[in-house]
């Protein structure tokens, strides 16, 4: 008998300010460990980098997370004994793992938390276990500060990882 495919671990949140998005990143950091890959999706200005900034704060890494102009990947070493944060902005990269290969993410992933903006179609081959975060601007929001965030855990790593804690 075939096992029924279980629903992916998933949680949905509404975030109403940049500061709340950072706070979400700080909370998310508590769930992350070396070897975790986080893929961030959402249009320009959705808040991917803002979320990553909070994540870096939560992980306690060196240097502020920014939107790099020229650098595609930046390593933020831990200020304590936690894993470094590797922040990748793949916006300027074409498709395929070929161009990603120079970044040696496969080498750094086992020891790092790797967060990739615009990584669809580029980094999936790194690991089956991924945390997929999609950020949408709320339609009709006049303040332009409301975001809907969907967090989906793919693979065994996230099957019972307690993503509900994010909305607490
Ligand atoms: N709820 C929110 N979450 C995140 N950013 C927000 C929010 N509301 C407004 N903003 C603003 O939107 C912009 C998001 O920029 P950024 O995080 O660089 O987006 P991305 O990396 O997705 O292109 C920032 O200027 C931020 O202040
Ligand atoms: Mg960005």
Give the CATH number of the domain where residue 57 resides: 3.40.50.300
Strand runs labelled E in the chain: 9-15, 37-41, 73-76, 85-89, 113-117, 130-137, 147-154
Q: How far apart are CA 71 and CA 6, in angstroms?
A: 39
What is the arithmetic mean of pLDDT over 128-151? 94
Q: How far is the CA of 3 from the centre of ligand 1 (A)?
A: 41
The verdict on residue 48 lying in a domain is yes
Cβ 19 under 6 angstroms from ligand 1:
no
Residue nearest to atom 25 of ligand 1 (CA): 45
What is the arithmetic mean of pLDDT over 136-148? 92
The verdict on residue 49 lying in a domain is yes
The verdict on residue 141 lying in a domain is no
Cβ 41 under 6 angstroms from ligand 1:
no
The verdict on residue 74 lying in a domain is yes
Residue with the bigger pLDDT between 73 and 7: it is 73
Cβ 11 under 6 angstroms from ligand 1:
no
For residue 49, give its domain range: 18-131
pLDDT at 8: 60
* Number of separate domains in the chain: 1
The verdict on residue 90 lying in a domain is yes
The verdict on residue 29 lying in a domain is yes
Q: How far is the CA of 130 from the centre of ligand 1 (A)?
A: 23
Q: Write out pLDDT tens, residues 20-75.
A: 999 999 999 999 999 999 999 999 999 999 999 999 999 999 999 998 777 789 99
């Amino acid at each position: 008998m075939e096992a029924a495919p279980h629903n992916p671990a998933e949680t949905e949140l509404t975030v109403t300010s940049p500061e709340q998005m950072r706070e979400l990143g700080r909370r998310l950091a508590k769930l992350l460990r070396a070897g975790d890959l986080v893929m961030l999706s959402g249009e320009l200005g959705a808040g991917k980098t803002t979320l990553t900034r909070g994540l870096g704060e939560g992980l306690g890494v060196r240097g502020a997370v920014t939107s790099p102009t020229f650098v595609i990947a930046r390593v933020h070493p831990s200020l304590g004994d936690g894993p470094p944060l590797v922040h990748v902005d793949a916006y300027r990269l074409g498709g395929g793992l070929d161009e990603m290969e120079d970044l040696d993410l496969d080498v750094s992933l086992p020891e790092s938390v790797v967060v990739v903006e615009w990584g669809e179609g580029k980094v999936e081959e790194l690991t089956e276990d991924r945390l997929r975060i999609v950020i949408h601007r709320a339609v009709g929001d006049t303040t332009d500060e409301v975001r809907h965030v969907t967090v989906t855990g793919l693979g065994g790593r996230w099957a019972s990882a307690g993503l509900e804690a994010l909305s607490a």
